[in-house]
Copies of this chain bind each other. A is one copy, B any other.
Amino acid sequence: MSQPAFVLVRPQMGENIGGAARAMWNFGLDRMRLVAPRDGWPNQKAVAMASGAGRLLDEAGLYETTAAALEDCHFVFATTARNRDLTKPVVSPERAMEMAREKIAAGEKVAVLFGPERAGLENDDIARANAIISVPVNPEFASLNLAQCVLLTAYEWRRQTGEIAAERVEMAGSEWASQIEVEKLAEHYDERLDQAGFFFPEIKADSMKLNLRNLWSRMPLTRSDVQTLHGVLRQMVRWKERGD
């Protein structure tokens, strides 16, 4: 098991089981376990809702009790919105999935419990968990549903394991302009604008040229941008020469 199992405890609506499957698979998780789903199993409403993630339902483990679903697990997280009358470590979703990654890498099996829609997990389920995951919701308004809670936890799992670039630049089939291309663009503008009388008054001309030069080098220009900017200038010159 190279990923945590997500265990839905006594889920009520089939639609929510399907929605949880979609949420998991959006972030590459496919190990689902079900404890005593209210409306029996399999469930056609779950299948209809899961479209595209139906495999998770086909392969889901079905258990009568939370204890049975967790038998092979070494470390268990419980997701819960309310404070409970239990002494227990409480971790953020990010920290939880970081712990899960470390434990799984060390050969442990990890599970995450999600409670039924209305009431959430019972204390009896939570007492089986090693730690609680608490999503940092607005204390004035905490209304995450089952699939949303699954979604955020799965997202944090993917953040831990995916190689996610914080920043990159999408290129529209172009390449970055080289220094010499930007240099020639700058010269082209310098020359034409000088002819056009742009660098006026004389006393400010040097600082105006410096600022313009700086502007070009500050821009992340592609070769295609450079061509466009050359074209703009050429067309202005043509227009002037047409004299209309």
Instruction: Take A87-B174, A95-B166, A170-B86 as given contacts and tell me if A25 and B152 are in contact as well, using a CB distance cutoff of 8 Å.
Output: no
A76 to B87, CA, bound (A): 44
Chain B residues in 8 Å Cβ range of A196: none
Q: For A88, what are the chain B residues with a Cβ–Cβ distance below 8 Å?
A: 169-170
Q: Among the listed stretches A106-114, A141-149, A185-193, which one makes contact with chain B, having 4 or more residues with CB under 8 Å of it?
A: A141-149
Of the listed stretches A39-47, A61-69, A155-163, A235-243, chain B binds: A155-163
The chain B residue sitting closest to A89, CB to CB, is B169
> CB within 8 A of A95: which of B52, B89, B151, B167?
B167
Please report which residues of chain A, range 111-146, place their CB below 8 angstroms from some CB of chain B when the two chains form the complex: 132, 135-138, 140-144
User: How many subunits of this chain does the assembly comprise?
Assistant: 2
Cβ-based interface call for A85 (8 A): yes
A137 touches B26 (CB 8 A): yes
Are B137's CB and A27's CB within 8 A? yes
Closest to A148 in B: B151
Q: Are B143 and A22 in contact (CB under 8 A)?
A: yes
CB-CB nearest 8 A-B residue pairs: A95-B166, A28-B138, A136-B164, A87-B172, A25-B141, A90-B170, A85-B172, A91-B167
